[in-house]
Amino acid sequence: MEVIPGTWNVEPGTETGVKFTLLKTDPSGARAGVFETGHGQVLTPVFMPVGTYGAVKTVTPSELADSGSTMILSNTYHLYLRPGSELIQRLGGLHRFMGWDGPILTDSGGFQIMSLSELAKVTEEGVTFRSHLNGDRHNITPELSVSIQEQLGTDIAMCLDEVVDPLSHKKTMAGAVERTRRWAQRCLHSRTSQKMALFGIVQGGTFLDLRVESAQGLMEMGFDGYAVGGLALGEPRAETWKAVKSTTTVLPESRPRYLMGMGTPMDLLDGIERGIDMFDCVMPTRNARNGTLFTSRGRLSVKVNALKDDLGPPDPDCSCYTCLNFSRAYLRHLYMTGEMLGFRLCTIHNLSYYHQLVSGAREATLEKSFADYKKQVGEGWNSGDESDRPDAVTRLR
């Protein structure tokens, strides 16, 4: 395979914790690469299931692996509050604690602090907030955020950033960009683990000039990768993609790009087309627990009466454990009776579908045929036998 120059290490000349190699780009802008970490290899583009508390809801680590998961995301804020990062460190780190031997990415907790604590106060020092669990007062600084993630033993850590409403006035957004840059520098200087990669987070809302300014400021510090944050929080979707494109256009090709917290299957393909390598979202697992499946022919609700005697597989084009062994009628029965197995089976399918989706995008990128692949997937979502039952299917577009 052709290798594009730009392989990078956590610290040049020291023990390598994480290495990323960009293998190929597609004319559309899609990229295919590979991570090498202390906990295994990750092929990109990659979708990371969300295990907020050190667990992806309803499924075991072995089921995660069987679904195609290679890297998961856990949350610094929640694990810091409960059971505590120091306890997890004493018990051997997050990998051992949760029984997952693959790579783990942890976010810094900045978004959760601001969204879950009504009394959060941001100063230059950090963020003071009260726990949403018991009201205890805490202060998270950039240095402490990095320390917590090192205690967890994560493979990829995120810098603490200031998250503001994407519809904020430009002056407010510019202030958040500057503070995020200063905090990122403090995070970088406080890192002590050579095995842990550290990503800077690009902010700026939908102001394209601020996005470019934020990205350039972080690039000067030389982070191991870059995340695009502060989007999909209420702004028009067209503005989201303009902001993403303006960011990836200036980011270095040799570093991985991570779009935080989105999205739908077509969002993933739209992001890949704009040069994104990494994604996370609760959508496949949360929708599974609500009785909604993502399939090659659209969204399928297992709750509707039309499925009560349907012996067909949930997705005839899927080879996951759920689709090979169970019918739509059975999944509907499980959901209507509140059986936990139904939530598990739906989660296994949705995760498998997401992983198959990005794996197909990777193969298409390596073959330089991503545009055709995206068109084919989109046609499946907007046509097919599911579209004849509008009560059973809703479309993303």
Task: Name the active-site residue from 26, 107, 270, 277.
Answer: 107
Active site residue 317: no
Give residue for tokens 């029984």.
99
Residue 112 has pLDDT above 90, yes or no: no
Residue 15 has pLDDT above 60, yes or no: no
Residue 211 has pLDDT above 90, yes or no: yes
The predicted model gives 22-44 an average pLDDT of 97
Neighbours of 329 (CB within 10 A): 15
Residue 75: CA count within 13 A, CB half-sphere: 22
pLDDT reported for residue 397: 22
14 class by beta-carbon count within 10 Å (0-12 exposed, 13-18 middle, 19+ buried): exposed
The predicted model gives 253-279 an average pLDDT of 97
Per domain, the residue ranges of the chain are: 45-281, 287-394
Residues in the chain, total: 397
33 phi/psi in degrees, rounded to 5:
-145, -170
Residue 247 has pLDDT above 90, yes or no: yes
Quick: pLDDT tens for 321-367: 999 999 999 999 999 999 999 999 999 999 999 999 999 999 999 99
Q: State how far the Cα of 119 lies from the Cα of 114, in Å rounded to an integer.
A: 9
Residue 132 has pLDDT above 90, yes or no: no
Task: Name the active-site residue from 155, 161, 267, 280.
Answer: 280
Give the percent of the chain with pLDDT over 70.
Answer: 91
Active site residue 66: no
Evaluate the omega torsion of the peptide bond into residue 83 and state whether it is cis, within 30 degrees of 0: yes
Q: If DSSP states are collapsed to H, E and C, what string results for 236-274?
A: CHHHHHHHHHHHHCCCCCCCCEEECCCCCHHHHHHHHHC
Quick: pLDDT tens for 56-88: 999 999 999 999 999 999 999 999 999 999 999
Residue 214 has pLDDT above 90, yes or no: yes
pLDDT reported for residue 116: 66
Per-residue CA distances from 148 to 67, 301, 380 (Å): 29, 40, 43
CATH topology of domain 45-281: TIM Barrel (3.20.20)
> Do 123 and 139 meet the contact criterion of CB atoms below 8 Å apart?
no
Quick one: which of 360, 354, 295 has its CA closest to 50?
Answer: 354
> Do 21 and 277 meet the contact criterion of CB atoms below 8 Å apart?
no
State the pTM of this model: 0.92
